[in-house]
A = this chain, B = another copy of it.
Amino acid sequence: LRLSRNINYPLRAAGIFSNYLQQRELKNTPERFIILNEIVRMRKHFEADSLLVQLRIKNKKISRATIYRTLELLIDCGLVKKNKFNTLHSYYEPVAALGQHDHFICLACGKIIEIYDKSIMNIQKKLQKSHRFSVLQYTYHLYGHCAACKRNPNRYE
């Protein structure tokens, strides 16, 4: 249901990226579009390194440096969002492909669950007014124990 609205997302994303690059007089290189393509295809959060591995499996050899440099561009043009949960590395995700959502992170098994709930946006509107700042993006991360780990507390001792 939610995803049906975004069926043309891969195509639109490429268009958005291409425009963005042209506007800044940056170049439409194959590497950049291979990376974007892989990201929109995944439709979930991922790590920089798993993206690299994923590409290697498909025999697309793109250097780690280019991955990071391209991710920065994609974040800048709003196609990708960067998340830091309380771990060492960062997580990224395709923005419009997923729609507005938040995250629950299980402290026992590490699973990340995407939460779709609109009421947080109301709070945000209220806060914007009362504090006179404008919100461009936000993160709402919940940490705790998921249903499975609550049932069986020892499964990840």
Tell me which of A107, A113, A131, A132 has the highest count of chain B C-beta atoms within 10 A of its own C-beta: A131
B86 engages A86 (CB within 8 Å) = no
Q: A86-B84, A139-B140, A139-B141 are in contact. Are A133 and B119 (CB under 8 A)?
A: no
Interface residues of A in 65-109 (CB under 8 A from B): 82, 84-86, 90, 104, 106-107
Copy number of this protein in the oligomer?
Answer: 2
Minimum CB–CB distance from A75 to chain B (whole Å) comes to 9
Write the nearest CB–CB distance from A95 to chain B, whole angstroms. 14
A84-B86, A115-B131 given; A124·B142 CB < 8 A = yes
A1 at interface, CB cutoff 8 A: no
Report the Cα distance A132→B142, complex, angstroms.
Answer: 13
Q: Within the complex, what minimum Cβ distance (angstroms) separates A157 from chain B?
A: 16
Cβ-based interface call for A7 (8 A): no
A82–B143 Cα distance when bound, in Å, is 12
Given A113-B133, A134-B150, A140-B140; 16 other pairs, CB 8 A cutoff = A84-B86, A86-B90, A104-B133, A104-B135, A107-B136, A117-B127, A119-B126, A123-B123, A132-B146, A132-B147, A133-B150, A136-B143, A137-B142, A137-B143, A139-B141, A139-B143
Q: List 15 A-B contacts (CB under 8 A).
A: A113-B133, A117-B123, A119-B126, A123-B123, A124-B142, A131-B147, A133-B144, A133-B145, A133-B146, A134-B145, A135-B143, A136-B145, A137-B142, A140-B140, A140-B141
